[in-house]
Structure 1
């Protein structure tokens, strides 16, 4: 409790010192500022805020849902901020904070959907930022089908490397990946399925699948390590480069997309999401009584 309060005070005072002259201030609460990507996102938001002429405050809950709730409650209840964006650590912990923000007319952008916070519908001044796993899986599968249609006249024999996270979202992504594949290449057949997390594991499992399906010519890769491992397995077997579509989009994979060895990569556009959420928060700060939207993280396709 005490350490959380000290951390908040340190961040808040330093941020407010540079924002005293600003008429409005926004707060950003990430998962933790110990994550380099969150540091980069916080820096980008600070730049957006400066360009928009508003003050900026970064909080640091350090992966603790209760700390996140306490920090946000403090800046909202004391009137230090006019809006806040939280990458939610735990929705139940934020329910009271969100209700207080609605009552105070302080708009928020929060992760998830209304039901996660006990609401049945959209709320005034609250935007919900959700991940559309259906669209994500569909994009990966559709692009694999497009590759099969272009290179093999739709006759695809697919090795399917599914999502390994084991949660509901993984199942949705895989199910819609298969639907997208079927839509774009109706004659394509999934000849083998497997799960793998690491590149070496992916290479080994694809090599095993190729022993039984040497005529496979396409790979659905749920992540970049799957894609790279599959590519290496086909090369080691002396087989032609297959259609490969990856879910992710690391710099390494994008380099192989550019060279043509990987057909496409689909990933979440977090930079676009940051801009979208910031602009949404700004608009709600002008009209906090209006119902907030339900946003989806944009999907970026590179091919």
Structure 2
């Protein structure tokens, strides 16, 4: 299953508001304009579920912004059920109510019929992931793909930790890697990129343990146990906010300070910890910027829904104490 990583819950904890400028739907070729003129300005938003606060907040942001741009919004809630998601989407696309669709697919492989239905109706659709996850080899008519570059994120995370170890620990340190859980989207690529980048940036660093993390409280307990077995542990590289914050909490409880901590997530507490010097660097996916480009792209695609949609990448930003 392809998802926008569990760190969505952290990265989108604050209210998310779209700030995109509405594209001009009157442009494009004659065939595209004729098709677009028949499409309602109604956006169907189908996230994985509305249960996670992050996704609920995202849906509220869409509902708050779209009307100001002359769009209506239909929000669906498949509640992590791929069959329910395809049924809901099929109903609204087949009925002619949808003017565009934005889908965080529960199971990309189940979306084939929906993508064909949207194309046949001339309804532009944006889905998370890369074309190959949906059985395609490149850009497709009326479909925009929006994906997370896990290689780039992992490389930046490892490079930042290596930089800290070189600057503050003379290039040598014991490292704990708090990773994401098995089955998390992009995990294999992210882990490899992070560990390879760390080795390149700080060859003298040694990863003494890899600890899968999803829950902060458990992470603090588990990292505390690791610290007992490795009292000279000085660095933590974390694939999510829970691991980074849990490690800081564990170190504080043990009466010590971790010299180098890097994080992939970037929630408000993490960013404050960067300012306070507790975390060296945080690499964060910029979901608000991604929402801007996603909505803007769908609006523009209405002008010519039969043209190949673009392939978008979720922006990333690294924050350090000095930035």
**Structure 1 stretches (4+) deviating beyond 4 angstroms?**
none
Higher helix share: 1
SS of corresponding position for 2:145: strand
1:125 aligned to 134, 138, 142, which one? 142
2:98 maps to what in 1? 81
1:40 aligns with 2:81: no
Query: d(CA) in 1 for partners of 2:150 and 2:228?
Result: 32
Relative distance call for 1:256 and 1:131 in structure 2 (3 A) is same
Q: In the comparison of the two structures, how many residue pairs are matched?
A: 282
1:228 maps to what in 2? 245
Relative distance call for 1:158 and 1:32 in structure 2 (3 A) is closer
Query: d(CA) in 2 for partners of 1:168 and 1:278?
Result: 23
Which TM-score applies when normalising by structure 2? 0.78
> C-alpha displacement at 1:167, in angstroms?
4.8
1:142 aligned to 159, 168, 174, which one? 159
RMSD: 2.5
Query: d(CA) in 2 for partners of 1:212 and 1:36?
Result: 36
User: With CA pairs under 8 Å and 6+ residues apart, which has the higher RCO, 1 or 2?
Assistant: 2
2:168 aligned to 109, 134, 151, which one? 151
Relative distance call for 1:25 and 1:138 in structure 2 (3 A) is same
> C-alpha displacement at 1:275, in angstroms?
1.4
SS of corresponding position for 1:156: strand
Query: d(CA) in 1 for partners of 2:82 and 2:120?
Result: 22
SS of corresponding position for 1:178: helix
Query: d(CA) in 2 for partners of 1:129 and 1:105?
Result: 19
Relative distance call for 1:76 and 1:201 in structure 2 (3 A) is closer
Query: d(CA) in 2 for partners of 1:162 and 1:23?
Result: 44
1:180 maps to what in 2? 197
Relative distance call for 1:110 and 1:197 in structure 2 (3 A) is closer
Relative distance call for 1:264 and 1:44 in structure 2 (3 A) is same
Deviations 1:64-87 (A, max 9, x none): 222221222222222212211111
1:262 aligns with 2:285: no
| Higher radius of gyration, 1 or 2 | 1
Relative distance call for 1:205 and 1:62 in structure 2 (3 A) is closer
Are the equivalent residues in 1 in contact too, given 2:179–2:238 (CA < 8 A)? yes
1:67 maps to what in 2? 84
Unpaired runs of 5+ residues, structure 2, are 1-38
Instruction: Pick which of 49-58 and 200-209 moved more.
Output: 200-209
